[in-house]
Amino acid sequence: MKEALTSFDLMALVAEWQGLVAGFVDKVYQAKDEVTLRLNVPGEERTELYCKAGKWLGLHKTEEKRETPGPFAMALRKTIDNARITAIEQPGFDRVAILRLEKGATYDLVFEMFGKGNIILVQGGNTVAAMRTQSFKGRQIRPGIAYDFPPPGTNPLELDRQGFHKAVRSAKGQIVKVLASPLNLGGTYAEELCLRAGVTKDATVASLKDADFDALFTALNNLAVAVEQERRPAVILDGGKPIDAVPIDLLIHAGKERRESPTFNDALSSYLSSLAAEPSVATKDATATLRHRIEQLKENLESLRREAMAAEAKALFLYNHFPLFEELLRAAREGRAFDGAQIKGVDKERHTVTVAIGDFDDLELDYDKDVNGNAQALYEARREALRKAERVVEAIQAAEDEVRIVEKKAVRAAKRPKVKPTRRLWFEAYRWTLSSEGFLILGGRDAKTNDALVRKHLKEGDRYAHADVHGAPSVVVKDGAKAGEATLREACEFALIYSKAWPAGLSSGSAFWVLPEQVSKQAESGEFLPRGGFVVRGKRNYVHDIPVQMAVGEVEVEGHRKVMGGPVSALAARSTRYVVLRPGEMDRDRLVANLAKAFEVPEEEVSRVLPSGGFAILKVHGLELGLDAAG
């Protein structure tokens, strides 16, 4: 199956995207390594440019998007929202696409579609934002420094016939691998080139004749013309299952079903939708890529072993026919004819002569060296091939170990229910709960959010609560002036729950509430307030002997299902499915896993509402946890 875009694919896509020029970036979304740009093109429906780093880039609508953008998406929103698209380019034949944008200044949004992939926003030659920081030999990607494009690879479409011959001949190994990597074509188009040229893909470069190189060069130009001018995009199916999306007819897919599309982008989008429609693909065969890699490594291993054997055989042959080869090398140096072997070619730049003699059709020798020198070079080539073979064996073993690990993880994942996160609401940046009377209670998660909570959200008409425990969070009751005694007590309970009283295993404690004007950031003369700390002046309204207990349950907030933690009375008033907890010995991760399964949410959502420390279950209401109460 197709696993990523090729350079030819990107070339076809960029040609089709020229209609986006003069459009605008409307919004940016991000989920891990997937970034989507919603685009507004005048006179057209809104469209979405979807990128999965290092794999896919295309106009493709995904079903779900994170409402709360990640840091990179937020940086793009701040910088290029409503920016106008002025150009879309592919530099050379590289797997790189550039979206040129204008918004007061000129920006380049660079999509690097090789390796792990990356998306980089560049302005004036400097990196403004990057999806991920990376460090390569001679090249770094991180905000605040100059952006260097990846070193350009060979552009086979700019080579003339002689340049193509030279580029291919200068590489060693199987022709399909040389076309795929050094010539930048990728595996699919390297095989296609061999098929069209009538060249065996496993043949070594050294064994090919000039006619083979000519046929490959002609096939390459025919491919380029087809991609540029004669596209016939389609999704390719095998047994009814999509396996590829192509911009042109390919011989390697001869006999397979074609589902034609008006554009290559449509074909790619359809293919991506078919991948998304198989939710069990990763679990069903999470090791497919690894197994494919192992097969390739085994082929490479056999090739290296054959290479080592061939080098040794050639060295022995040289020694067994020492006088003959001494004369041959002397003749090559002097530029005269030699009748003892068929000379297939002399390369004066590399100082080599290639002969057919005995069982060898392509024995290449350095005529500046004598027989001993050539034999030693062959023995060194043998040793190098065996060294590489040892490393390949280690890589095979490591990949097989990884297969076993992935299989175990897949089995465990298959047993866990697949859950979707609930919609993230603004107040989840803080600890939160809804009181039994319906008032929103917010608490800081750390010094930074303590500070932000009081500065941004403690207003006239609110109430402030704090536990009598060092390091307790600041707590704000929104519209607390209208709240009853029950809410103010619950705010004090809330402050105690998320204080150090819980990890310390305390059974009870005290807390208080005050008016907003009693809370100040101004320390007494000669004193210092740490970040997140506040001074409370005047009368404090204490609540004593508060049990250190909490509940976690499922509630509805603004029409959305959420998991909420807080005072027991608050959960009892709003939830039919909840669990009552106190400090105890139960492992936090164990409780999180069981609650996440019961509420059918990701474990992270449960973890965020729990205090640090251990737990004991006092009561379970409307749930099946499989955990003992008071355990």
Residue pair 156/167 in contact by the 8 Å Cβ criterion: yes
Residue 277: inside a domain, yes or no?
no
> Average pLDDT, stretch 499-517?
94
* 88 and 160 co-located in one domain: no
Q: Does residue 282 have a pLDDT over 60?
A: no
327 Cβ contact partners less than 8 Å away, ≥ 6 residues apart:
338, 340
Residue 408: inside a domain, yes or no?
no
* 86 and 180 co-located in one domain: no
Q: Does residue 279 have a pLDDT over 50?
A: no
Strand order in the sheet with 56-59: 56-59, 47-52, 34-40, 24-31, 84-89, 96-103, 105-112, 118-123, 126-130
Cα(107)–Cα(79) distance, rounded to whole angstroms?
A: 9
Q: Does residue 283 have a pLDDT over 60?
A: no
Residue 596: inside a domain, yes or no?
yes
Which of 369, 394, 419 is the last residue in one of the domains? 394
pLDDT digits (tens, 9 = 90+) for 350-375: 899 998 888 888 899 999 999 999 99
Look at the pTM and tell me if it is higher than 0.85: no
* 371 and 439 co-located in one domain: no
* 585 and 439 co-located in one domain: yes
Cα(207)–Cα(362) distance, rounded to whole angstroms?
A: 6
Residue pair 50/115 in contact by the 8 Å Cβ criterion: no
> What's the number of domains the chain is made of?
4
Cα(501)–Cα(469) distance, rounded to whole angstroms?
A: 7
pLDDT for the residue numbered 625: 79
* 24 and 57 co-located in one domain: yes
Residue 445: inside a domain, yes or no?
yes
**Closest to 577 in 3D by CA, of 530, 620, 545, 541:** 620
* 54 and 190 co-located in one domain: no
Which of 86-95, 270-279, 436-445, 493-502 is least confident? 270-279
Percent of the chain with pLDDT over 70: 93
In degrees rounded to 5, what are phi and psi of residue 120? Answer: -130, 130
Residue 471: inside a domain, yes or no?
yes
pLDDT for the residue numbered 258: 93
pLDDT digits (tens, 9 = 90+) for 103-143: 999 999 999 999 999 999 999 999 999 999 999 888 999 99
Residue 237: inside a domain, yes or no?
no
Residue pair 93/84 in contact by the 8 Å Cβ criterion: no
Q: Give the pLDDT band (50/70/90) at residue 68.
A: low
Which of 110, 141, 172 is the last residue in one of the domains? 141
Which of 188, 203, 230 is the last residue in one of the domains? 230
Q: Give the pLDDT band (50/70/90) at residue 524.
A: low
Cα(197)–Cα(195) distance, rounded to whole angstroms?
A: 5
Residue pair 197/214 in contact by the 8 Å Cβ criterion: no
Q: Can you tell me which residue has the tokens 């809370």?
A: 519
Percent of the chain with pLDDT over 90: 69
Write the single-letter amino acid at 225: V
Residue 278: inside a domain, yes or no?
no
Domain limits for position 168? 156-230
Cα(20)–Cα(89) distance, rounded to whole angstroms?
A: 12
CATH number, residue 128: 2.30.310.10
Burial 588-617 (b: 16+ CB within 10 A, else e): eeebbebbbbbbebebebbeebbbeebbbb
User: What residues are paired with 620 via a beta bridge?
Assistant: 579
Residue pair 131/72 in contact by the 8 Å Cβ criterion: yes
pLDDT for the residue numbered 210: 93
Beta strands in 16-154 (DSSP E): 24-31, 34-40, 47-52, 56-59, 84-89, 96-103, 105-112, 118-123, 126-130, 134-136, 139-141
Q: Give the pLDDT band (50/70/90) at residue 535.
A: confident
pLDDT for the residue numbered 193: 96
Residue 486: inside a domain, yes or no?
yes
Name the burial class of residue 479, with classes exposed (0-12), middle (13-18) and buried (19+) by CB atoms within 10 angstroms of its CB: middle
The more confidently predicted of residues 281 and 80 is: 80
**Closest to 53 in 3D by CA, of 77, 28, 36:** 36
pLDDT for the residue numbered 80: 96
> Average pLDDT, stretch 421-434?
86
pLDDT for the residue numbered 361: 84
Q: Give the pLDDT band (50/70/90) at residue 298.
A: very high
pLDDT for the residue numbered 277: 61
* 170 and 100 co-located in one domain: no
pLDDT for the residue numbered 511: 96
> Average pLDDT, stretch 382-402?
92
Burial 273-301 (b: 16+ CB within 10 A, else e): ebeeeeeeeeeeebbeebeebbeebeebb
Measured on CA atoms in the order 390, 396, 399, 403, is the torsion positive or negative? negative
> Average pLDDT, stretch 341-347?
84
pLDDT for the residue numbered 276: 72
> Average pLDDT, stretch 183-197?
94
* 436 and 521 co-located in one domain: yes
pLDDT digits (tens, 9 = 90+) for 157-170: 999 999 999 999 99
Cα(476)–Cα(442) distance, rounded to whole angstroms?
A: 5
* 136 and 160 co-located in one domain: no
pLDDT digits (tens, 9 = 90+) for 221-237: 999 999 998 899 999 99
* 376 and 318 co-located in one domain: yes
* 440 and 581 co-located in one domain: yes
Which of 15-19, 204-208, 302-306, 625-629 is least confident? 625-629
pLDDT for the residue numbered 415: 53
Q: What is the dihedral of CA 592, 595, 600, 604, to 10 degrees?
A: -20
**Closest to 603 in 3D by CA, of 550, 549, 552:** 552
pLDDT for the residue numbered 461: 95
The more confidently predicted of residues 26 and 45 is: 26
CATH number, residue 225: 1.10.8.50
* 339 and 458 co-located in one domain: no
